[in-house]
Amino acid sequence: MTLRIGQVGCGQWGELVLRDLKALGAHVSVVARSDLSKSRAKAQSADKIVSSIGELDSALDGYVVVTTTDQHAPAVEALIPRGKPIFVEKALTHDPVAAHRIVAAAGDRVFVMDKWRYHAGVEELRRLVSAGSFGKIHALHSLRASWSMNHAELDSIWLLLPHDLAIVYHVLGAFPKPVSAHGRVLSQRGAELSAFLTGQNGEGIHIDVSSLRPTYERKIVLVGEKATAELGDSYARSLKFRMGSPGARDAREELLPIADTMPLLEELRCFLAYLQGGPRPMSSAVEGTHIVETIVELRRLAGLN
């Protein structure tokens, strides 16, 4: 069965989403307004290109929303009356009121594209935690830094921080509570935030996101009473895993291999499988709303709202 998908948006990220949907065998109709977006849709062999959501066929199986973040809520709410599942790029929205409105209207069929929950390295960290390999978790540190951002609709904190909050939730199994934060917004493309949170079981969580650093860095470090691990890069093919109490000189280090699957492709594969009766995608609209509210609170603590 060929699934018929409506994709709203075809910017730089939307072009990659379309590429992968086509690779997975879907028939994709794309809403693309600008000439550049239409050109990208054509380059990735969109089956149909229209200029508005209202022009999409009524007999589609599901929808993927990859507009700019500030347009997520309007797009999702325009699609809800069609009664089909919707997969929306993170963050669900930047407005908690709109997020709650979406949950109330269609929370059982709106899902968030938290790509990092489909990353093999993040999943391996979750598996090790569940297996008790770390013992009690003391801390989780996440660093996500680069120079500038390609998107300009919202400042980069909104574009980066949802990833890390989704990672914490996936690895530890619960959302953390904001404690303190500091940061700055110098421009929409240049902003940073250091956030401190507490996990459900007292874990210390530090998240550092920035688009003001001269180098590109991605790192997740998990510290437990029996072991410490590091995922050193988005494309790393192994976890650095050190057995032993924190700081012990005799701790034994090994590299644990992780699969080279691509998270975007995997999350889209999951969504298409769900449309055919498979398991639900991992991030619900309720969870997406929790992330939106956490970001708003961290920005308030940092004096940025």
Secondary structure class of 195 (helix, strand, coil): strand
Same domain, 134 and 207: yes
> What CATH number did the domain enclosing 231 receive?
3.30.360.10
Rounded Cα distance between 137 and 120, Å, is 20
pLDDT digits (tens, 9 = 90+) for 71-98: 999 999 999 999 999 999 999 999 999 9
Rounded Cα distance between 7 and 88, Å, is 10
Of 140-144, 153-157, 222-226, 298-302, which range is least confident?
Answer: 153-157
Same domain, 85 and 161: no
The DSSP H or E segment spanning 157 is helix 156-172
Residue 291 lies in a domain: no
Count of domains forming the chain: 2
Q: What angle do CA 158, 159, 162 make, to 5 degrees?
A: 75
Same domain, 134 and 227: yes
Residue 301 lies in a domain: no
10 Å CB burial of residue 105 (0-12, 13-18, 19+) is middle
Same domain, 103 and 159: no
Range of the domain at 106: 4-113+265-284
Same domain, 133 and 14: no
Where do we find the tokens 């924190």? 246
Secondary structure class of 15 (helix, strand, coil): helix
Mean pLDDT of 117-137: 97
Distance of CA 10 to the CA centre of its chain: 18
| Residue 246, pLDDT above cutoff 90 | no
pLDDT of the residue at 181: 98
Any idea what DSSP says for residue 187?
S
Rounded Cα distance between 191 and 198, Å, is 23
Rounded Cα distance between 75 and 87, Å, is 11
Mean pLDDT of 40-45: 97
pLDDT of the residue at 150: 73
Neighbouring-strand partners of residue 231: 220
Same domain, 142 and 175: yes
**DSSP states of 216-262:** EEEEEEEEESSEEEEE--TT-SEEEEEESSTT-TT-EEEEEE-----
Phi-psi region of 49 (alpha: psi -120 to 50; beta: other; left: phi over 0): beta
| Residue 153, pLDDT above cutoff 80 | no
Same domain, 86 and 185: no
> What CATH number did the domain enclosing 38 receive?
3.40.50.720
Residue 103 lies in a domain: yes
Secondary structure class of 89 (helix, strand, coil): strand
Same domain, 12 and 137: no
Mean pLDDT of 256-267: 96
The values of phi and psi at residue 185, to 5°, are: -120, 105
| Residue 167, pLDDT above cutoff 80 | yes
Secondary structure class of 17 (helix, strand, coil): helix
Rounded Cα distance between 79 and 136, Å, is 44
Answer with the residue of higher pLDDT: 194 or 190: 194
pLDDT of the residue at 151: 67
